[in-house]
């Protein structure tokens, strides 16, 4: 069954604006990861946040984690056309036995 | 540095034909290896994972099988393809289960006709 659920399913914004994507999950986790996928390609790891962390930054990326609400958000600041991609969250649910459980993704389109 | 190779990038196969997709990892030893399938516009479904040579775990019943003949080689196979096997297949590896990032191959677009 699907653990992570991203919203929105699709997001279209102007270049230079900030993009926020959300992920909700259902069970206790050890960590949560965000990945990016360009069309027809493999996924690229962006950032991992552990269950005892609340916020993490990497360049223009900011990830928050609220374990009480079982949710995470990915913020991309000052978006660029090259940020156009699908973004997925994945959780390593406690007791999941080697699985990363994936959401359906948010398709982000940055308009020049 | 570690790299992962997955081929072919695209494949068109007739119904009933066999399948063999290969994935190899370089620059690391004893990786955890994974095969995923991704339906159009959807997330990833884990098909198989392996924590060592000859050790394969299947997550969903299906028309596919996997093998790990060498430490850094993971093969996805089918004896007879079905139309429903069409999809985007991704191989990935990680150092340890779930606590670290997964590294993905570029994927294989399989179309069964």
| pLDDT attached to residue B42 | 79
Query: Would you state the structure tokens that stand for residue B90, as one six-digit string?
Result: 């991704």
Statement: residue A97 has pLDDT above 80: no
Burial letters A27-62, b for 16+ CB under 10 A, else e: eebbbbbbbbbeeebbbebbbbbeeeeeeeeeeebb
Statement: residue A2 has pLDDT above 60: no
Query: Would you state the structure tokens that stand for residue A89, as one six-digit string?
Result: 């969250």
Select the residue from B35, B43, B94 to test the A interface by mutation, using most A Cβ atoms within 10 A. B43
Which of B42, B57, B102 is opposite residue A104, by nearest beta carbon? B42
Query: CB neighbours of A59 closer than 8 A, spacing ≥ 6?
Result: none
| pLDDT attached to residue B97 | 64
Q: Which residue of A has its CA nearest to B106?
A: A42
- The whole-number average pLDDT for the span A82-104 is 84
| pLDDT attached to residue B47 | 93
Statement: residue A4 has pLDDT above 70: no
**Residues in chain B where the model's pLDDT stays below 50:** none
- The whole-number average pLDDT for the span A59-64 is 98
Q: Which residue of A has its CA nearest to B6?
A: A42
Cα separation of A35 and A105, whole Å?
Answer: 9
Contact of B75 with B21, CB cutoff 8 Å: yes
- Give the N- to C-terminal CA distance of chain A in Å, as an integer: 37
Closest CA to B34 of B47, B25, B20, B21: B47
Q: Is B17 on the interface with A (CB under 8 A)?
A: no
Closest CA to B31 of B55, B9, B66, B7: B55
Cα separation of A37 and A30, whole Å?
Answer: 23
Residue whose entry in the numeric block shows the structure tokens 């179309």: B111
Confidence bin at A1 (pLDDT 50/70/90) = very low
């Amino acid at each position: 069954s699907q653990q992570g659920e991203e919203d929105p399913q699709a997001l279209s914004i102007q270049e230079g604006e900030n993009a926020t994507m959300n992920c909700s999950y259902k069970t206790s986790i050890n960590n949560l990861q965000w990945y990016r996928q360009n069309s027809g390609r493999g996924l690229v790891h962006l950032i991992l946040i552990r269950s005892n962390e609340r916020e993490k930054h990497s360049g223009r990326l900011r990830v928050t984690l609220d374990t009480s609400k079982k949710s995470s958000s990915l913020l991309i600041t000052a978006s660029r056309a090259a940020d156009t991609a699908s973004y997925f969250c994945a959780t390593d649910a406690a007791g999941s036995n080697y699985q990363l459980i994936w959401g359906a993704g948010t398709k982000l389109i940055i308009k020049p | 540095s570690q790299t992962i190779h997955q081929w072919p990038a695209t494949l068109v196969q007739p119904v009933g034909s066999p399948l063999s997709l290969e994935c190899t990892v370089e620059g690391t030893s004893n990786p955890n290896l994974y095969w995923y399938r991704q339906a159009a516009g959807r997330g990833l479904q884990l098909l198989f994972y392996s924590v060592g040579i000859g050790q394969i775990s299947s997550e969903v019943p299906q028309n596919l099988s996997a093998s790990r003949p060498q430490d850094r080689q993971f093969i996805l196979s089918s004896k007879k393809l079905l139309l429903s096997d069409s999809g985007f297949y991704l191989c990935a590896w990680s150092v340890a289960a779930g606590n670290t990032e997964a590294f993905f191959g570029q994927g294989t677009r399989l179309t069964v006709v």
